Structure 1
Amino acid sequence: MKWTATFAIAMSLVAGEASAQLLSPGKLARPHADLEGLRSCTKCHEAGSKLGEKLCLDCHTELRARVEQKRGYHGRLEDRTCHKCHPDHRGEDFEMVIFGPRGEKGFDHRLSGYALDGAHAKVSCEECHDSRLVAAADVRALMKKHRKAKTYLGLSADCSSCHFDEHRGQLGQDCKSCHSTRTFQIERFDHGLSRYELSGAHVKVACDKCHEAKTGTEPAATFPKPKSLSFVTYKPLEFDRCTSCHQDPHTGRFGADCSRCHDTTNWSRTRLDSPDKVAFHDRTRYPLVGLHRSVACESCHGPKRAPKWKGVAFDRCDRCHLDAHRGELPGDCEPCHDLRGFVPSTFEREAHDDTPYPLRGGHAAAACAACHAKAESAELMKPPKGRALLVSNRRFRFDREDDCSSCHADPHQQELAPKACTECHVVDSFTILSFDHDAESSYPLTGKHRGLSEAQPIPCGRCHASADGRVSYRGTPKECRDCHTDVHAGQLDAPPSDLECDENCARLGCSRCHDTNGFKTTAFRHDPEFTTYSLDGSHATVDCGGCHLKRETPHPTIYRGLPRTCAGCHVDPHDGRMRRFEQP
């Protein structure tokens, strides 16, 4: 009984399959192979009716959603008779897609809602309709279930769904803003669409000057495969300040706003739109001080058609100014001048100590112009034309700094040549002498000749006078009478003829009786050393004037020719009785 039932069931199944084979117009294509048999006919064929769209979409749910949303090729069809393009029962190997007489390559892709143009028109179907590029989740689920199945569904129109993002996420997903389907290369990117519009010289700069290349880190098996391992950096790039790309040649002295002086047209062309240009200059390497603050810009940065702002030398004054001393004073100008003005000079007398000729004594009180007078040679050095420049016509260079004649006239008129002035004079005063009359002349000064004291010497001119009023030192006579009046009127020029002359007698002139200690102090004695008329007895106590009578001026006292007899001076009290009164 049990066997009979089993057999009956088996026979009914065989009969079913046989009847299905008898009723079926042919074997189903391999994708529909699971629908073979009478039990599955109604999954595609409605009873008493032809094939219907609804049953197809009940199975192909991934298409139903697209048809309902009118997306893709199937959603755009007005005639949705599925079997016209997808017939079946033509054998297991039958391709269930009929593209028309031109085949798959002749398919009008515009019908899908995604027209192929540019480089896309040349791409093979398989390159895009690759199961690895399917983006739709429902289609991916279908492909996972039917791994060997082929589909044209599930692709996205987004570039990134088929192409590797060569920018590595820097620029987002809107590829069309820069690229077209004609070529991947950008013919001319409109930088004005970016946050940094190019202007001036920036327009001519090569892209890679700002957008440098970097090497990607994607695995070798990355799909879609990148065109290049390297990529250009576009974001994030700093451009809020010029120093983001350019090195600041001013090292921050002018702040970060380069546009105050520069624009993108040309770096060398500078515009100063600051209302206070002087204040701007204070941030440069050369702040304007003193008179420089009132100088017109063109005076230093011109005058030319295109002002020069960079490369203006300022390490020395003569970079801009003519050397006022025309090389007479080598070195920097700062020791003598400052920016308040060329005159007056800031050179102090103390600074003269650092020169070859320090100021000492009376020189320290001398006015500068007394030594540094105007010189004709300096006057001739003035430029005949050009800018109005200060040029000194003072003399600063001397052939010999230690030669007094460079500044002073020789009051001796070469009388003492070749002796130098410093052998007798000092810088404290011309009247203070270092000359030693005792050691350095043939006439030592003694006694009253030295003066009343060291503080009150006799003026040199008292002895060293000349007819033209100047002081003369050569040929000055040395005899007393040459300087002093002979109060004896020549009486004592020679010794008495009857006096035997010894060494004292040989000293003719004043020095026989007088020395330089004083005229009134005399060495004369009334004894044979000096005279033949010796004084003895009461004569020794008689005042000189008792015998040597004084006469009225200008007549001198009489020393020669006086009587030697008693009668010459005395009255004879004996009235001649002694007869010897007249005898010597």
Structure 2
Amino acid sequence: MPQGLTRVLGGIVVLGGLLVGAAIVSAADAPTADECLACHAERGLKREKREPGRPDALFVDHAALKASAHGGLECVACHSTATAPHERLPRVRCTDCHDTVPAVLAEGAHGNRRAKARAAAPTCTSCHGTHDVRPVAAITIDICATCHVPQVSQYRKSIHGKSRGRGDSEAATCRSCHGAAHGVLAKSDSRAPTYHLNLPRTCATCHADPELAKRHNIAVGAVYQLYMDSIHGRAVSRSGLLVAANCSDCHGAHDIEPRTEPTSRVFRASVPATCGACHAGVQKDYVQSIHGREAARGNAGAPVCTDCHSAHQIRRTEAAPWQLDVIRECGTCHAESLRTYRDTFHGKVTALGFARVAKCADCHGSHTIQPASDPRSAVSPARIVTTCRQCHPDATRKFTEFQPHADPTNSARFPGLYYSWLFMTLLLVGTFSFFGLHTLLWLPRSFAERLGRRGANPPEES
């Protein structure tokens, strides 16, 4: 063997021996947990000099460590350079073991915050703890509250938070909506479960389950399907419109409350303001209308947006089915007006399913409804001719004297119509009664005469 090669191989053997020896010595010098706790079990142990981002206390609760996810590991598994005693140790690198987490975390909101070096950016220990390492299943909302104080405060007061507090394991938590902890994405990220266009599907994980709705006495079990068929749902799912209302726009995000709670966004008295967040012009008209003023005074019978448009099944107002259905909706309060309307030509045509005739809103308006005595009303004396001319271009003042809600049985309000109706009714009843009786009395005589003629003229024998 050449002398040069022999020297190289010899050097490699010596170097390998030194490395193995160093490893053996290092392993032998590595302190045990008991040796570490000889100092770190002291509760008052602190750093001599404060370091930003690192805890001052150096006390280690051995019982908590043993009960943690790392309970079976030695101290040097994380503090690999530790000796007994030791000076300042470098930061622990969780990624030495959890090597798949950084890639996931880097894509998420928490990882991005770290990348931007923000002071409040969370670290592994922010959520999992230090020596009392918590597994993901043990990370509760209290951990989220260390950073997200206002959101968690709202959640605790919400229907979800209260249900969770009562022990309901099916109530939504942070992870239910935001996803896995390491992969939490900002709501502005189109991949996030809380992104505007994705949120309905996220809510649907619970609210599309009819069995869950039964278990929790949720009034509308198929709410997701109803929403997706609505004008808002189609705008979100088919058109991708970020301005279209989704679940949180109406119900809130962390502060969701039942509609029976006065502080809820969908509490009856709050509905106009909630809808007005998008439909500002409509809200302005509504609050000035007779309906809006009555609702503001606390009249529970005054209609709000959801009475006419529904909550989750909102349809386009130019659609004929909705225009016909809303007539019946008006009748839930104005039953007498609906009854008299149905007696008119307009009412009879709409009852047959045709929408191209005058309906309630065509004459009275929709969001701007005022009493007929109010000059702003579309049926006030000052404006009624203009209103009628929308369909009848040649309408005159005389034309507007037609009473669309006249009741012929009301003698006090419509005496002329009443007595005309009474006269015609009596005439009709009298005529039919007289000739009906005449027919009944004549019938026996007619039969008798026919039989008499038949007896007087017997058939001839063949």
> TM-score band, normalised by the shorter chain?
0.3 to 0.5
Structure index of larger Rg? 1
* Structure with the higher helix share, 1 or 2: 2
TM-score by length of 1: 0.31
TM-score by length of 2: 0.38
Higher relative contact order (CA 8 A, sep 6+): 2
